Structure 1
Amino acid sequence: MKKVLSIFVFLYAFVSTSAQNHQNNPGSNHGNKFEQLGTILPTPNSYRTASGAPGHEYWQQRADYEINAYLDEEKLNLKGSETITYYNNSPDELEYLWLQLDENDTSNTKDAGYQSSSTLAKQISSDRLKATELPVKDNGFGINLEKVTDANGNALSYVVNKTMMRIDLPKKLKKGETFKFKIDWNYNIPDRMKQGGRGGYEFFPEDGNHLFTMTQWYPRLCVYSDNQGWQNHQFTGRGEFTLTFGNFKVKMNVPADHIVASTGSGKNFSEVLTAEQFARWQKAQNTKEPIEIVTLDEAKKAEKSKSKNRKTWTFEAENVRDFAWTSSRKFIWDAMPQLIEENNNKVMCMSLYPKEAYNLYRKYSTKAVAHTIKTYSEFTIPYPYPVAQSIEASNGMEYPMICFNYGRTEKDGTYSEGIKNGMIGVIIHEVGHNFFPMIINSDERQWSWMDEGLNTFVEYLTEELWDNKFPSRRGPAHTIVNYMKLPKDQLEPIMTNSENIIHFGPNAYAKPATGLNILRETIMGRELFDKAFKTYSKRWAFRHPEPADLFRTMEDASGEDLDWFWRGWFYSTDAVDIAIDKVTVATPDFDGKPQARDFKYKVDEPEVNDFEDISKIRNKEDKKITFKTDEDQSLRDFYWRYARGLEKVDTQKEYTIKGDAPKNLDTKERESLKNITGYQIDFSNKGGMVMPLILEFTFEDGTKLNDKIPAQIWRSDEKKVSKTYYFDKKLKSIQLDPMLETADIDTTNNLWTADKVTPESTSKFQVFKQNQENRRRGAAAGMVNPMQAAGKKN
């Protein structure tokens, strides 16, 4: 998703979540928050197991593409012809195929038609101020379908529903069969700087050139999966893409002085580059610093020449879920390799950028690309593709092996610290999307957080390893507090459909990233978390995971029951607000004489039911039933008769067992314990979200101790708990969550200091030595039983 835009608030009407926090006993003060998620998560099956791994019958579809594209820069039009081979690996017979026509989102008549509430603006630009036209007139954008045929040229029946297209098959496509078909199409390329969106062109009036970002540019297959069937939800610009893996062969016919970069590997660089440029490309395969393939001077000259000739660039990509490309004569291009040691993959890390970004991109971009794929490979899976590249396009969006970012300098070549750090952050973020969701291919249309949240988390880890002082905006627990403080009517659970989220950036990016960081740093620990997260990544690489697959794998690989965390952090709008309500201070009393405790008791009444229940009555009346004690009367002992009133015992007589007094401490023992002070800390859960209790104790002598109590302390009472400590020196203060690890929204109630002690908050406790003889005997030793009281032995 476009990271640079995610800081803005998108005001969408609130719709109830599609995965709610169902609780069996919501009025109780215990048990709900620690219930298992079994009533919420889908039932495991042969496709998706209870461990979170793909099942032995897991399947997924495949679609291969051969595409020819013609970029008309003068008319700002893209013309394409594609051949698609679709493989039905499902156990189902398919009557039709669904394809995405994402470019229809740029049309005002073919788009999904989703609207949001609107009000009169205080200020508005003249470009946007125009009279409302009803009925709406076609703005001329969106896909124009020229021809849809099978492989033999026979016309296929199809229906376009806004941003979705259904192709009706001539006959059912059975398991294991393939279907090949062709689509010819074109569309007018939008000015994305004015109209918004991810793909289109940017025009540079200073030199009269365009920079094209060709994304969501061809009709492409929707996912057909075991858990949902066709994912054909409309594209509105918010929920992104759910796509099928396959192989691509793509040819782009563009003006001859354009430089093209795309998903996949270039297959004819020796034909489309000059001899000098191709020599630099070959040299870049083994360099340790980025080398300019197309230099700044060459890009400046191309800006002025504007060739009328054309060239065709050819690229191929294997096992990718999408394909994007860019084209412009303004591009400088640099490259260097990065070796991923785990799979011995030498990846060409590259950047393309106009002169307006030169002073930033030339120094940082390609090295940031290399750092990203190396770091993500360590935390997830080894990067499998041959290329990773960052394109400066005043944008922020991701596709396999290519992404579009921002980072331009001032005209004099200088830049602000914010632009530099923002550029590095967005490059890491968008390159990181190669892993989530390009390889670990979650359903972005349904669950933005599985794409953006997981990626933002690993982005944070990568930023931390770039520079220890890097100003990460998302990931650390304290950065989510302002969002978590919002009123409940402005919040929704993370488990909310992409289209229905109010605060998209905090909910889909920051909160899940923060939650994973809390799991890693505070709840699970790095070793357990990193192994489990890597296991999830490996299990679901090049597959289609769902939330349950992540939740189950994290528990399966770590041995940690995390259902309480998923329930609270992902399914609810509870916030963390744990308070220290009271601290009671107690000192030892050595002067009191411990008293012996006598144990008084009466002999037991017969062990019989309170009444004759229905089963006993029916058993007694059933003549076919013979009871064992009737059949074998030797089993009728004293207690058989006692239960029937045939033996009489005085059950009101009181008996006494004399207790031995605890022993007083001797002088040496008293001396060793004289400085002991007890502290009972009373906590309350004001925010609703249970969390570990992380405590920092500061003593009067300035020393400190720390303790972390797991969240399970709340399992018996989710609202109030107490914890007692005994120290041999006096406390000066107790700080809850000293490192701000839990996203506590109110830290004013997290500190206790010794000056708060009052007579009402102090007490004494007696200290004595346990009488071991009493401990061995126990209270029941020596008690008179009913048989003894009746003077019977049988």
Structure 2
Amino acid sequence: MKKLFTTVLVISSLVKFGHAQDIHNNPGSNHGNKFEQLGTILTTPNEQRTASGAPGVKYWQQRADYNIKCELDEKTQTLTGSETITYFNNSPDPLSYIWLQLDENEHNNLKTSNYQSSSTMPRAATLQSVDRSEKSDKDNGYGFNILKLTDVTGKTIPYTINKTMMRIDLPVALKPGQQYIFNVNWNYKISDRMVYGGRGGYEYFPEDKNYLFTMTQWYPRLCVYSDFQGWQNHQFTGRGEFALTFGNFKVQMTVPADHIIGATGECINYSGVLTPTQFARYQKAKTAKAPVEIVTLAEAKKAETTPSAAKKKWVFQANNVRDFAWGSSRKFVWDGMGQNIEGKTVMCMSYYGKEAYNLYSKFSTRAVAHTIKTYSDFTIPYPYPVAQSVEAANGMEYPMICFNYGRTEKDGTYSESTKNGMLGVVIHEVGHNFFPMIVNSDERQWTWMDEGLNSFVEYLTEELWDNKFPVKKGAAYTIVDYMKLPKDELEPIMTNSENIVRFGPNAYSKPATGLNILRETIMGRELFDFAFKQYAKRWAFKHPTPADLFRTMEDASGEDLDWFWRGWFYGTDPVDISLDSVKVAKADLSATKLPGNGGVNGGGASKVAPPAVNSFEDLSKVLNREDKKIKFYTDRDTAARDFYWKYDRGLASVDTVKYASIVKAKGAQPATELETPTDAEKQKYGEKYFYELSFSNKGGMVMPIIVEFTFKDGSKQLDRIPAQIWRLNEKKASKFYVQDKEVASIKLDPMRETADIDETNNVWGKAVEPSKFQLFKLKAGGPVRGQSVGVNPMQVSAGAK
């Protein structure tokens, strides 16, 4: 999800517990520790998972197939269902019981597993929130009601429910290679998602008296039984997401006849549930180059005013997926178009109400298409037949379908932050098809393996949407404020999801930033991209662990990255490399005094929000723009340009207040002198300039040192010193340079690539610090996520379209 780990007792079992310790062989020394191999911190290689990071010759995983029938009662907001599950034991172990997840129980006051969270008295609260906080022994009516559990012959099977988990006790152990078929009948009361929260439920629209249902975690489903931990039966508290088993689904949904359904997989009876005109539009959309409305805005508005009392059955089929979700409403406008992925057409589709029309009709399906194409380029070709985005004031992902946010003002305009937030959440949630829907990590244990990896490729995808897109996570400088925090407010990335205090930076931003630093600064794009693609290929439709990722990245690139995993993923030290001193000398004995440093501080305010572009262009933006092979989406499809595309480039004028800046001078560094050289040395070195740069590692995290020289003639030179310079002394390092020209200033990390938390100690000479960049926070829209609120530049510009 989505757009927001306890000391280890046995290190070789790092996936089972809180967070993995950063063990050192010689912790008292000042060298070597940070460059030790991870060794026993990683799981021991075996026949299931090799030392190279690939699945072993005896790798296995379970499978579960589902045949589900359900009916939605809109008037009572209840869902009733029955399912037949076929469970395949592909493990080498006999199983005397199996575990299922009952995640909907999170809403039940007696069955919930969210028992461990402390709480405080709020200064203000809604009546509904007080009701939820009130301790009651009376069942509030939410959660699964298991009506019947039988085997294939109809015989009742004993079971035990423990909060959000259900154990089924088998009459005879299920041996390796066998399968077990059983039936579950159930129902539950659907919760108001806007009041009770959660990933699924309904939203009620009082203006038109209609509902929008997002049906997620809506059926009892198998837990993962794996080679590295056995049953994954951690309770669902609402944060740590899901570890799920692959299988095939056939799902029949009975809903009001005027509802439109978007769901995991392909609908196999469109011709029976759509009008002939709508079905013809769907067929046309398959080959369209721009989104085609299958259900139009006019049709959706009409359906809102004339609800049908009849019912219709929609049937969907999905193969080799780990989950199934669906959305249903008569409010839906529905559009789609085909996207070619290596010769195969993938139907990209969107569903949204009139409240989001001006944003979603223009951008959603285009963003879906751009996302699966870009992710396919960086990982594996998108293997599924459809990819869908549903606007539901939400942000959550499932195979082939996701729920997102982004609504306009009443007049149809929107702020740029709303537009960019909407594009970001669509890209993020659609991207989750790859991580973890295909590369199927255990989200309940290692949130970063799906959120962090996905946020990284989301970053790459947003950068390729528009070179002006103000990406908020991925670029190194964006994680600095988090890295500055006191150690008692931080956990390593390698921490269980339930134990993280600052969930967003830890699970999303820091892993994404680390991978981007690996790609742009440490490994280079060619080596990184090959290794990352190898990881995706090796673990597609399998269950990888952190060790599998770390080992694959090293195995496929030829780079020893243990120092980086140790520091960035297992530690909490920040990067703070200081340029402590510069010794300067010249062969003619003349003392060279170099001028002082300077700084710029920006400030100001504007009546109307300025263009939401980052004032500092990170390295990826520069490299992408210089790469002639890259063509940004908004250049390939100019229909994806809007008022803000022009606004960000100065092509649409809006009255703003200009920002002022204040320049502050800093003191100069003294110079040193060389001894008198011989005549031969004078002739050889007379015009040379000599510099010794001394560095200290104040933050603790080792990182490459990037040195930019600015010469007095205005030219520049960049030197990239690998992180291994810190091997023999992790606290101090130095580098000697011979230059043909006199240096005016020196700056470390000029493109802010390493997440250095203190740039004030990075400069010497006349270098000027960059002005502070302004961050724009997505406007809150009351209880509705992603609603555009307030005056926006599109409204005050006469030429806005």
Per the alignment, do residues 590 and 426 of structure 1 end up closer, same or farther by CA in structure 2, a change over 3 Å counting?
Answer: closer
Contact 2:68 2:250 in 1 (8 A): yes
Question: Map of 1:606-645 to 2, 5 A cutoff?
Answer: none
- Call closer, same or farther: CA 1:234–1:755 in 2, change over 3 Å: closer
TM-score (structure 2 length as normaliser): 0.83
2:23 equivalent in structure 1: 22
- Of structures 1 and 2, the larger Rg is shown by 1
1:212 has 2:224 as partner: no
Aligned to 1:753: 765
Counterpart position of 1:368: 367
1:248-263 equivalences in 2 (<5 Å): 248-263=249-264
Determine the C-alpha separation between the residues in 1 that align with 2:334 and 2:741: 66
Question: Does the CA contact (< 8 Å) of 1:590 and 1:670 recur in 2?
Answer: no
Alpha-carbon offset, residue 124 of structure 1:
2.0
Aligned to 2:2: 2
Q: CA deviation at 1:132?
A: 6.4
Report the secondary structure of 2:34's partner residue. coil
Render the CA deviation track for 1:226-261: whole Å, top value 9, x for unaligned: 001000000001100000000000000001111111
Secondary structure class of the residue paired with 2:128: coil
C-alpha contact 2:109 2:136 (8 A) present in aligned 1: no
Contact persistence 2:128–2:195 (CA under 8 A) = no
Separation of aligned partners in 2, 1:2 and 1:126: 27
Q: Among residues 721, 742, 760, which one is paired with 1:709 in the alignment?
A: 721
Equivalent in the alignment of 1:338: 339
Does the C-alpha gap of structure 1 residues 697 and 497 become closer, same or farther in structure 2, counting only changes over 3 Å?
same
1:390: which partner in 2?
389
Give the aligned length: 675
Cα distance, 1:666 vs structure 2:
5.4
Q: Judge conservation of contact 1:150–1:156 (CA < 8 Å) in 2.
A: yes
Contact 2:6 2:19 in 1 (8 A): no
SS of 1:431's equivalent in the other structure is helix
Please list the CA deviations of residues 674-709 of structure 1 after superposition, one character each: whole Å capped at 9, or x if unmatched.
022221111000000000000000112211111000
Name the residue aligned to 2:96: 95
- Aligned equivalents of 2:767, 2:446: Cα separation in 1: 50
**Counterpart code for 2:409:** E
Is residue 82 of structure 2 the alignment partner of residue 70 of structure 1?
no
Q: Is the 8 A contact 2:212 2:327 kept in 1?
A: yes
Alignment partner, residue 762 of structure 1: none
Q: Deviations over 1:343-375 (max 9, x none)?
A: x22100000001111111000000000000000
Are residues 1:312 and 2:313 paired?
A: yes
Distance 1:450 1:141 in 2: 31
Q: Offset of 1:671 from its aligned partner?
A: 2.6
Q: How does 1:497-646 map to 2 (within 5 A)?
A: 497-588=496-587
1:689 maps onto 2:701 in alignment? yes
Could you tell me which amino acid in structure 2 is paired with residue 72 of structure 1? Answer: D
Q: Report % sequence identity.
A: 70
Change (3 A) 1:50 1:131: closer
Retained in 2: the 8 A contact 1:690–1:718? yes
Distance in structure 1 (CA, Å) of the matches to 2:131 and 2:401 = 37
Counterpart in the other structure of 1:123: 124
Q: For the residues of structure 2 that align with 1:701 and 1:211, how far apart are their CA atoms?
A: 65
State the alpha-carbon separation in 1 of the partners of residues 483 and 498 from structure 2: 20
Deviations 1:570-613 (A, max 9, x none): 0000000010111111233799xxxxxxxxxxxxxxxxxxxxxx
Q: Within 5 A, what are the aligned runs for 1:197-236?
A: 197-236=198-237
Distance 1:752 1:17, change over 3 A: farther
Letter of the aligned partner of 1:272 in structure 2?
V
**TM-fit CA distance, 1:492:** 0.5
In 2, Cα distance between equivalents of 1:114 and 1:77? 26
Which amino acid counterpart does residue 172 of structure 1 have in structure 2?
A: A
SS at match of 1:198: coil
The separation in 1 between residues aligned to 2:122 and 2:255, in whole angstroms, is 42
In the aligned structure 1, how far is the partner of 2:41 from the partner of 2:462? Answer: 35
**1:697 and 1:734 in contact (8 A); partners too:** yes
| SS of equivalent residue, structure 1 residue 390 | strand
Q: Which residue of 2 aligns with 1:620?
A: none
For residue 598 of structure 1, what is the aligned residue in structure 2?
A: none
1:474·1:513 contact (CA, 8 Å) conserved in 2? yes
Q: Secondary structure at the match of 2:373?
A: helix
Q: 2:353 maps to which residue? A: 354
Which residue does the alignment assign to 2:238? 237
Task: Please give the alpha-carbon distance, in whole angstroms, between the structure 2 residues aligned to 1:59 and 1:368.
Answer: 36
Structure-2 separation of matches of 1:119 and 1:18: 27
Give the secondary-structure state (helix, strand or coil) at the position aligned to 1:365.
helix
Supply the distance in 1 between the matched residues of 2:502 and 2:137 (Cα, whole angstroms): 30
Partner of 1:606: none
Quote the offset at 1:76 in angstroms: 0.5
Aligned to 2:611: none
For residue 570 of structure 2, what is the amino acid of its counterpart?
A: Y
- 1:457 corresponds in structure 2 to 456
Q: How do 1:274-285 and structure 2 match up within 5 A?
A: 274-285=275-286
CA contact (8 A) 2:148 2:185 kept: yes
Q: 580-589 vs 296-305, which deviates more? A: 580-589
Length-normalised TM-score, structure 1: 0.83
Does the 8 A contact of 1:345 with 1:384 survive in 2?
A: no
In structure 1, runs of 5+ residues without a counterpart are 7-11, 592-663, 757-794
Q: Deviations over 1:706-735 (max 9, x none)?
A: 100000000000000111111122211110
Deviates more, 1:241-250 or 1:722-731: 722-731
Partners of 1:13 and 1:502 within 8 A in 2: no
Question: Where does the alignment leave 5 or more consecutive residues of structure 2 unmatched?
Answer: 9-16, 591-676, 769-801
Give the aligned partner of residue 735 of structure 1: 747
Map Cα deviations across residues 526-585 of structure 1 (whole Å, 9 max, x no partner): 000000000000000000000000000000000000000000000000000010111111
Amino acid at match of 1:462: T
Contact persistence 1:102–1:235 (CA under 8 A):
yes
Aligned to 2:423: 424
Distance 1:696 1:480 in 2: 22
Query: Aligned AA for 1:694?
Result: I
CA contact (8 A) 2:223 2:244 kept: yes
1:108 is displaced (CA, Å) by: 1.1
Report if aligned partners of 2:2, 2:428 keep a CA contact under 8 Å in 1: no
1:184-236 superposed Cα distances (whole Å, 9 cap, x missing partner)? 00000000000000000000000110000000000000000000100000000
- Secondary structure of 1:248's aligned partner: strand
Deviations 1:139-183 (A, max 9, x none): 110000000000111000110000000001110111110000000
In 2: Cα distance, 1:581 partner to 1:78 partner? 66
Distance 2:306 2:173 in 1: 54
Question: Residue in 2 aligned with 1:38?
Answer: 39
* Alpha-carbon displacement from aligned partner over 1:267-294 (angstroms, at most 9, x marks no partner): 0000000111111111112111111111
Alignment partner of 1:723 out of 735, 756, 776: 735
Residue 247 of structure 1 aligns with an amino acid whose one-letter code is: N
Aligned letter for 1:487? Answer: P
Closer/same/farther in 2, CA of residues 687 and 17 from structure 1, 3 Å limit:
farther
Equivalent residue letter for 2:750: P
- SS of the residue 2:733 aligns to: strand
Letter of the 1:429 partner, please give it: H
The residue identity in structure 1 corresponding to 2:140 is N
Q: Which residue of 2 aligns with 1:140?
A: 141
In the alignment, the residues of structure 1 paired with residue 51 and residue 548 of structure 2 have an alpha-carbon distance, to the nearest angstrom, of 8
CA spacing shift, 1:730–1:283, aligned 2, 3 Å = same
Closer, same or farther in 2 for the Cα pair 1:142/1:709, shift >3 Å? same
